[in-house]
């Protein structure tokens, strides 16, 4: 069973509160799954307070006496703490959803970058590496981001490519040889980094 996150907890807490209010039993282990550590401590403290009242007073016979003393049974204590936890969760729901979205985006980015780096390290060109990253993101169950290239970006890329080709055409044989040696050296260092 997947771990409950903050978007699941409010519904589960409502179910538990409704069960308790109907008089049905809710397992004690739900305290650990539905409440965080501070809420669990508050529940424990509230029950210890009730235990102290039980040592101090006899069981009240009327509802007025219960209210006057502050006497509650275990079910009432749990309902009170569950309602506080539910109110706290609902007030922080927007932040919880934003955090989950950030985690999801970070995971998708990590998958993309791992595959992109691997493809780029294998000597694939930029667009093939991006494609490999997007495929990995899709396989991992995420929606790949779309790379939009503006008209100006295309023009700049084309101009860079033309300049590169013109520089390569003007190179001497010795410069070309040096360039090839540099490329081989860079490939070798990338392979060593991966090992």
pLDDT band at 154 (very low <50, low <70, confident <90, very high): confident
Query: Looking up tokens 């669990």, which residue turns up?
Result: 40
Local confidence band at 49 (pLDDT 50, 70, 90 cut-offs): confident
Mean pLDDT, residues 12-31 taken together: 86
Round to the nearest angstrom and report the end-to-end CA distance of the chain: 37
23 & 51 share domain: yes
- What average pLDDT does the segment 96-116 reach? 90
Above 80 in pLDDT, residue 149?
Answer: no
What's this model's pTM, rounded to 2 decimal places? Answer: 0.55
pLDDT of 1 strictly over 60: no
155: containing domain:
150-195
C-alpha distances in Å from residue 31, one per residue of 2, 34, 55, 77, 119: 17, 5, 25, 12, 47
pLDDT tier, 162 (very low <50, low <70, confident <90, very high otherwise): very high
Tell me, yes or no, whether 96 lies in a domain.
no
66 and 13 housed in the same domain: yes
| Predicted local confidence at residue 146, as pLDDT | 67
Examine residue 4 and state whether it is found in any structural domain, yes or no.
Answer: no
How far apart, in Å, are the Cα atoms of 58 and each of 46, 47, 142? 18, 16, 61
Q: What are phi and psi of 117, to 5 degrees?
A: -65, -40
Inform me whether the pLDDT recorded for 188 exceeds 50.
yes
Q: Indicate whether 2 belongs to any domain.
A: no
């Amino acid at each position: 069973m997947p771990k409950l996150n903050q978007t699941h907890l409010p519904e589960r807490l409502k179910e538990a509160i409704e069960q308790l209010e109907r008089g049905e039993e809710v397992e004690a282990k739900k305290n650990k799954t539905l409440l965080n550590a501070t809420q669990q401590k508050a529940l424990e403290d509230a029950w210890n307070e009730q235990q102290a009242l039980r040592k101090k007073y006899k069981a009240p016979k009327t509802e007025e006496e219960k209210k006057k003393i502050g006497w509650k049974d275990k079910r009432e204590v749990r309902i009170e703490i569950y309602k506080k936890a539910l109110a706290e969760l609902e007030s922080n729901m927007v932040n919880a959803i934003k955090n989950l979205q950030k985690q999801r985006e970070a995971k998708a980015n990590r998958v993309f970058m791992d595959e992109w780096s691997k493809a780029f390290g294998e000597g694939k060109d930029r667009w093939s590496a991006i494609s490999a990253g997007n495929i990995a993101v899709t396989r991992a169950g995420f929606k790949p981001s779309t790379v939009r290239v503006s008209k100006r970006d295309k023009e700049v890329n084309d101009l860079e490519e033309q300049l590169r080709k013109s520089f390569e055409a003007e190179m001497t044989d010795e410069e070309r040889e040096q360039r090839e040696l540099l490329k081989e050296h860079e490939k070798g260092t990338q392979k060593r980094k991966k090992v």
